[in-house]
């Protein structure tokens, strides 16, 4: 199965531990069979009052085998679990690396609660592949072959009986378990997805649900989803247990068969009675070794399903529709911070770019063309949903245009590493994420190495510039910055952007939650820092745009007007009308 390739690769990388676990497992398995066979033989021998040295040899052998079995079982567990956890960690990193480039698209298509549970659950499911799917058959075949050869020395028919029993436990019982589990597993997965979605909805929407009086109803749905999942899981566990019970039953039937066959052979004089207990115990022990086979298909199915879903969620890099173009020879020259000292501003070109979100019938951007000269200041305005933020997403390489080209310093954006763009751009998006920690942690959240002595002064100066001087660097920030107001969050995001290197600023409504006075002060300081840089500002308010070199007006995914403030006002077009409405509203508020 192609999807399991990543797993096979991870297993190959852990081959040393895997080989060790197979070796120790084989020793433990055969030592177990030998231990019980020797015990059976010893018990039978004692009936005939053998010489003392025979008993001493047999007792020592039993003790030695017991020790070898325990020690090698320990070695097997150690090596196999070490291999399993290393494989798991490799799977996590591989999957995470695949996930990053396709993240915005995935979040579009999936419900976040389900997605999180799926990713975690599926990766965890894959950890069973080695221990419960790949490893048991190897072990069972090796130990079983030895036992069959050993038994065949005493009786061919007994060996045949063991082979028949093994075929039933290795194929018939697991086959039955699979057919029972197939439908149930689907139901368990569906119920798990519903529960995760419900949990996320209640957690994230707690406040709104409470205000709109829907909390009790949602809690009921959550309880219902949880109960349904528990009952399906119980049914699934019962069926797995039924499979294991059948395995035990077959084991006892085979043991009884060995007993009956042994009695017949002894009666015919073809087998010495002293070996009967030994053969019975050997048969019983070897089937215990193969107990894992009963649940193997269920785990196999589960792992394959998990691998398939993970491959769908985050396809391998070569199958991702993210353009990872070759690195342009000049690329690092353009973006490396060492060039930052020259402060050469970035030129941005957007040529005939169209973009359509996956699953949407209508394009968010239609043949948009823009030119941002180095060092220029551009504002994009337009009604909500006109495609302004999408332009930023494309410039940040969070999404790939459906058609058209975006260029930074005359190099297509597809030829830039996304990390290099992010590292060297001052970005403020509409929604910023804040971490649980201090203000200082949040300001330096990308581990910038500011000169330690100057760090304090620089951070305080930035806080002052964004009018957050009332906050101390050691003030605590709760998860999602819940202890900050929306305006404070925006200013913290601006401060964070101001601390970054680079000569390109991409700002998406960075001050929408601020009052006019604070907004004017913050923007003034920001503009002072960005004086020589290229800046793109998305905004709804039309005040203060007079200083912009260029204003771009967008509507329904198209650029409808471009020009300076004065040009657009004299054109008396879309922008002029928007400005009139804003003035009217401000007038109404003032009245
Ligand atoms: N993740 C998404 N999946 C599907 N469609 C989307 C997604 N994000 C935005 N859109 C759609 O794309 C269009 C442009 O959205 P965009 O966010 O770029 O508009 P905007 O001008 O920035 O709006 P606003 O001023 O409200 O932020 C809208 O019609 C919107 O419904």
What is the number of alpha carbons within 13 Å of residue 315 lying toward its C-beta? 7
Nearest ligand 1 atom to the CA of 107 is 1
The predicted-structure confidence for 102-128, as pLDDT tens digits, reads as follows 665 555 555 555 666 677 777 877 777
Check pLDDT > 70 for residue 588. Answer: no
| Ligand 1, pocket-test mutation among 111, 356, 357, most atoms within 8 A of CB | 357
Give me the pLDDT at residue 334, please: 45
Residues 293 and 415 in one domain: no
| Ligand 1, pocket-test mutation among 387, 509, 557, most atoms within 8 A of CB | 387
pTM here is: 0.63
Give me the pLDDT at residue 465, please: 94
Q: How far is the CA of 355 from the centre of ligand 1 (A)?
A: 11
Check pLDDT > 60 for residue 571. Answer: yes
Q: How far is the CA of 357 from the centre of ligand 1 (A)?
A: 9
Asked whether residue 332 is domain-assigned, the answer is: no
Residues 182 and 290 in one domain: yes
Output DSSP code: residue 474.
Answer: T
**Strands across the sheet containing 365-372:** 365-372, 348-355, 403-408, 411-412
Which residues lie with the beta carbon below 6 Å from any ligand 1 atom? 108, 357, 360, 364, 382, 384-390
Which ipTM value was assigned to this complex? Answer: 0.95
Residues 236 and 355 in one domain: no
Give me the pLDDT at residue 3, please: 63
Query: How does residue 508 score in pLDDT terms, banded at 50, 70 and 90?
Result: very high
* Closest residue by CA, ligand 1 atom 17: 389
What SS3 string covers 344-412?
CCCCEEEEEEEECCCCCCCCCEEEEEEEECCCCEEEEECCCCCCHHHHHHHHCCCCCCCEEEEEECCEE
CB burial of 298-336 (b: ≥16 within 10 Å; e: otherwise) equals bbbbbbbbbbebbbebbeeeeeeebeeeeebeebeebbe
Q: How far is the CA of 403 from the centre of ligand 1 (A)?
A: 18
314 or 245, greater pLDDT: 245
List the one residue out of 295, 244, 285 whose CA is nearest residue 143: 285
Give me the pLDDT at residue 320, please: 46
Query: How does residue 326 score in pLDDT terms, banded at 50, 70 and 90?
Result: very low
Query: How does residue 330 score in pLDDT terms, banded at 50, 70 and 90?
Result: very low
Give me the pLDDT at residue 493, please: 93
Asked whether residue 330 is domain-assigned, the answer is: no
Nearest ligand 1 atom to the CA of 386 is 21
Q: Rounded to an integer, what distance in angstroms lies between the CA atom of residue 349 and that of residue 295?
A: 59
Q: Rounded to an integer, what distance in angstroms lies between the CA atom of residue 575 and that of residue 566?
A: 11
* Closest residue by CA, ligand 1 atom 4: 357
* Closest residue by CA, ligand 1 atom 11: 364
Query: How does residue 450 score in pLDDT terms, banded at 50, 70 and 90?
Result: low
Residues 251 and 282 in one domain: yes
The predicted-structure confidence for 251-297, as pLDDT tens digits, reads as follows 899 999 999 999 999 999 888 888 999 999 999 888 887 777 777 87
| Ligand 1, pocket-test mutation among 109, 385, 559, most atoms within 8 A of CB | 385
Q: How far is the CA of 558 from the centre of ligand 1 (A)?
A: 13
| Ligand 1, pocket-test mutation among 104, 386, 536, most atoms within 8 A of CB | 386
451 or 287, greater pLDDT: 287
Least confident segment among 38-42, 356-360, 372-376, 404-408: 356-360
Asked whether residue 403 is domain-assigned, the answer is: yes
DSSP 50-115: --HHHHHHHHHHHHHHHHHHHHHHHHHHHHHHHHHHHHHHHHHHHHHHHHHHHHHHHHHHS-HHHH
Place of tokens 């043991």: 255
Asked whether residue 119 is domain-assigned, the answer is: yes
The predicted-structure confidence for 455-476, as pLDDT tens digits, reads as follows 888 899 999 999 999 999 999 9
Give me the pLDDT at residue 325, please: 39
Q: Rounded to an integer, what distance in angstroms lies between the CA atom of residue 39 and that of residue 63?
A: 10
The predicted-structure confidence for 381-398, as pLDDT tens digits, reads as follows 999 999 999 999 999 988
Q: How far is the CA of 385 from the centre of ligand 1 (A)?
A: 5
320 or 121, greater pLDDT: 121
Give me the pLDDT at residue 559, please: 95
Which contiguous run of DSSP H or E holds residue 426? strand 425-428
Asked whether residue 482 is domain-assigned, the answer is: yes
Residues 410 and 371 in one domain: yes
Asked whether residue 324 is domain-assigned, the answer is: no
Check pLDDT > 50 for residue 197. Answer: yes
Q: Which residues pair with 351 in a beta bridge?
A: 405
Which residue segment(s) compose the domain that 117 sits in? 2-319
Q: How far is the CA of 102 from the centre of ligand 1 (A)?
A: 18
Residues 358 and 243 in one domain: no
Least confident segment among 10-19, 103-112, 524-533: 103-112
Give me the pLDDT at residue 350, please: 95
Give me the pLDDT at residue 308, please: 80
Give me the pLDDT at residue 122, please: 78
Q: How far is the CA of 386 from the centre of ligand 1 (A)?
A: 7
* Closest residue by CA, ligand 1 atom 26: 384
**Reduced to 3 DSSP states, what percent helix, strand and coil does the chain have, rounded to the nearest 5?**
65, 10, 25
**Averaged pLDDT for residues 116-144:** 81
CATH no. for residue 522?
3.40.50.300
Pairing outcome for strands 425-428 and 504-508: parallel
List the one residue out of 469, 471, 467 whose CA is nearest residue 511: 467
The predicted-structure confidence for 50-65, as pLDDT tens digits, reads as follows 888 888 888 999 999 9
Number of domains within the chain: 2
Check pLDDT > 50 for residue 442. Answer: yes
Winning range, highest mean pLDDT, from 206-215, 450-459, 510-519: 510-519
Q: How far is the CA of 382 from the centre of ligand 1 (A)?
A: 12
| Ligand 1, pocket-test mutation among 103, 112, 359, 389, most atoms within 8 A of CB | 389
Asked whether residue 327 is domain-assigned, the answer is: no
Least confident segment among 157-161, 192-196, 406-410: 192-196
Which contiguous run of DSSP H or E holds residue 272? none
591 or 78, greater pLDDT: 78
List the one residue out of 492, 450, 445 whose CA is nearest residue 467: 492
How many of the other CB atoms lie within 10 Å of CB of 515? 9
Q: Which two tokens stand for residue 548?
A: 């912009």
Residues 347 and 315 in one domain: no
Asked whether residue 465 is domain-assigned, the answer is: yes
The predicted-structure confidence for 214-235, as pLDDT tens digits, reads as follows 888 888 888 999 999 999 889 9
376 or 213, greater pLDDT: 376
State the average pLDDT for the chain.
Answer: 84
Q: How far is the CA of 179 from the centre of ligand 1 (A)?
A: 46
Question: 380 phi and psi, to 5 degrees?
Answer: -110, 125
SS3 229: helix
Q: Which two tokens stand for residue 294?
A: 């009963």
Give me the pLDDT at residue 108, please: 54
Give me the pLDDT at residue 305, please: 80
* Closest residue by CA, ligand 1 atom 6: 357
Residues 308 and 404 in one domain: no
Residues 161 and 100 in one domain: yes
Check pLDDT > 60 for residue 591. Answer: no
Give me the pLDDT at residue 331, please: 42
List the one residue out of 254, 251, 31 whose CA is nearest residue 159: 254
Residues 358 and 315 in one domain: no
Check pLDDT > 70 for residue 522. Answer: yes
Q: Which of 284, 319, 354 is the last residue of a domain?
A: 319
**Averaged pLDDT for residues 157-169:** 90
Query: How does residue 10 score in pLDDT terms, banded at 50, 70 and 90?
Result: confident
Nearest ligand 1 atom to the CA of 393 is 18
Q: How far is the CA of 388 from the centre of ligand 1 (A)?
A: 8
CATH no. for residue 80?
1.20.1560.10
Q: How far is the CA of 559 from the centre of ligand 1 (A)?
A: 15
**Averaged pLDDT for residues 424-441:** 87
32 or 434, greater pLDDT: 32
Give me the pLDDT at residue 371, please: 95
Residues 131 and 276 in one domain: yes
Residues 39 and 147 in one domain: yes
């Amino acid at each position: 199965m192609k999807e399991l390739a990543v797993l096979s690769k991870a297993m190959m990388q852990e081959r040393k531990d895997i080989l060790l676990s197979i070796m120790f497992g084989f020793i433990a398995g055969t030592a177990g069979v030998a231990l019980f066979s020797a015990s059976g033989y010893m018990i039978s021998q004692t009936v005939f009052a053998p010489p003392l040295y025979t008993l001493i040899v047999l007792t020592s052998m039993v003790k030695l085998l017991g020790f070898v079995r325990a020690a090698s079982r320990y070695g097997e567990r150690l090596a196999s679990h070490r291999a399993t956890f290393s494989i798991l960690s490799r799977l996590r990193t591989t999957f995470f690396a695949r996930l990053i480039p396709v993240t915005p698209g995935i979040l579009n298509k999936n419900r976040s609660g389900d997605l999180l549970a799926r990713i975690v659950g599926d990766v965890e499911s894959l950890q069973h592949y080695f221990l419960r799917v790949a490893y048991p058959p190897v072990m069972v075949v090796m130990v079983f072959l030895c036992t069959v050869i050993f038994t065949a020395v005493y009786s061919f028919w007994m060996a045949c009986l063991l082979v028949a029993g093994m075929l039933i436990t290795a194929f018939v019982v697991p086959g039955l378990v699979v057919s029972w589990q197939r439908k149930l597993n689907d139901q368990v997965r569906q119920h798990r997805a519903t529960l995760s979605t419900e949990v996320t909805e209640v957690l994230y929407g707690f406040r709104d649900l409470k205000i709109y009086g829907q909390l009790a109803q949602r809690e009921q749905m959550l309880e219902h989803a949880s109960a349904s999942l528990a009952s399906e899981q119980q049914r699934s566990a019962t069926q797995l247990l039924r499979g294991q019970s059948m395995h035990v039953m077959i084991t006892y039937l085979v043991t009884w068969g060995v007993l009956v066959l042994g009695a017949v052979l002894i009666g015919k004089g073809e087998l010495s009675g002293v070996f009967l207990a030994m053969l019975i115990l050997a048969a019983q022990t070897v089937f215990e070794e193969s107990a894992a086979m009963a649940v193997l298909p269920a785990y196999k199915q589960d792992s394959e399903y998990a691998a398939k879903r993970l491959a769908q969620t985050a396809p391998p890099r070569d199958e991702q529709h993210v353009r990872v173009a070759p690195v342009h020879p000049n690329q690092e020259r353009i973006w490396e911070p060492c060039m930052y000292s020259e402060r050469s501003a970035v030129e941005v070109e957007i040529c005939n770019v169209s973009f359509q979100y996956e699953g949407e019938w209508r394009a968010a951007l239609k043949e948009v063309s823009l030119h941002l000269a180095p060092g220029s200041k551009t504002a994009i305005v337009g009604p909500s949903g006109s495609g302004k933020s999408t332009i930023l997403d494309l410039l940040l390489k969070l999404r790939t245009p459906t058609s058209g080209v975006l260029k930074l310093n005359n190099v297509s954006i597809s030829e830039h590493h996304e990390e290099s763009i992010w590292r060297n751009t001052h970005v403020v998006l509409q929604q910023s994420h804040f971490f649980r920690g201090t203000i200082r942690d949040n300001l330096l959240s990308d581990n910038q190495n500011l000169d330690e002595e100057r760090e304090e002064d620089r951070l305080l100066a930035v806080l002052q510039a964004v009018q957050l001087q009332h906050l101390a660097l050691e003030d605590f920030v709760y998860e999602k910055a819940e202890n900050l107001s929306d305006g404070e969050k925006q200013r913290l995001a601006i401060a964070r952007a101001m601390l970054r290197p680079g000569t390109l600023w991409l700002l998406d409504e960075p001050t929408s939650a601020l009052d006019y006075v604070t907004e004017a002060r913050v923007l003034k300081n920001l503009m002072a820092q960005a004086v020589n840089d290229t800046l793109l500002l998305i905004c709804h308010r039309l005040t203060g745009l007079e200083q912009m070199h260029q204003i771009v007006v967008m509507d329904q995914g198209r650029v409808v007007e471009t020009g300076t403030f004065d040009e657009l006002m004299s054109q008396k077009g879309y922008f002029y009308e928007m400005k009139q409405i804003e003035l009217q509203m401000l007038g109404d508020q003032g009245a």
